[in-house]
Structure 1
Amino acid sequence: MARDAETIQAEIERARDALAVTIDELTTRANPRRVVEQGKRTLRVTLADPKVKYSLMAVGALFSLVVVRRLFR
């Protein structure tokens, strides 16, 4: 079944528009500033979790204790 030139042209225009929208979306998602901001937000949320926060505090305290102990040997 043959298609006429106008139908083919219309399909090409729709495909071109869809591609333009996709490229715009990818450009927005891959923006380095946006990626950094997303990483910062994720890190803040993760560090706000009490399990993570108190675990890091305990590791820091233990590390400090080991360093002080080695200094005074």
Structure 2
Amino acid sequence: MARDPDTIQREIDQARDALAATLDQLGTKASPKRMVDNAKSSARSKLDEPKVKYALIGVGVLVGLLVIRGIFR
């Protein structure tokens, strides 16, 4: 059974629109700027956790003390 050319064209247009929408979504998800912003936000929230923050402060103090000890030896 032959299909109507108008129906075929309408299906092609719908498929094209769906593909364009999918490509737009992929472009948004894979945006380098968005990925960098997400990474910054994630790192910032991780560093704001008290156990991470205080551990980093402790490591910084230890390194500082070792540097000062090395200078005065």
TM-score, with length taken from structure 1: 0.80
1:10 paired residue number: 10
CA deviations on 1:30-68 (whole Å, 9 max, x unpaired) are: 222222211111111111111111111111111111111
Letter in structure 2 aligned against 1:38: N
1:24 paired residue number: 24
The separation in 2 between residues aligned to 1:23 and 1:39, in whole angstroms, is 23
Structure 2 residues without counterparts, runs of 5 or longer = none
Structure 1 residues without counterparts, runs of 5 or longer = none
1:55 paired residue number: 55
**1:71 Cα shift?**
0.9
Aligned alpha-carbon RMSD (Å)? 1.8
**1:18 Cα shift?**
1.1
TM-score, with length taken from structure 2: 0.80
The separation in 2 between residues aligned to 1:32 and 1:62, in whole angstroms, is 37
Q: Percent identity, aligned pairs only?
A: 55
The separation in 1 between residues aligned to 2:16 and 2:49, in whole angstroms, is 45
The separation in 2 between residues aligned to 1:29 and 1:37, in whole angstroms, is 12
Secondary structure at 1:17's aligned position in 2? helix
Letter in structure 2 aligned against 1:29: K
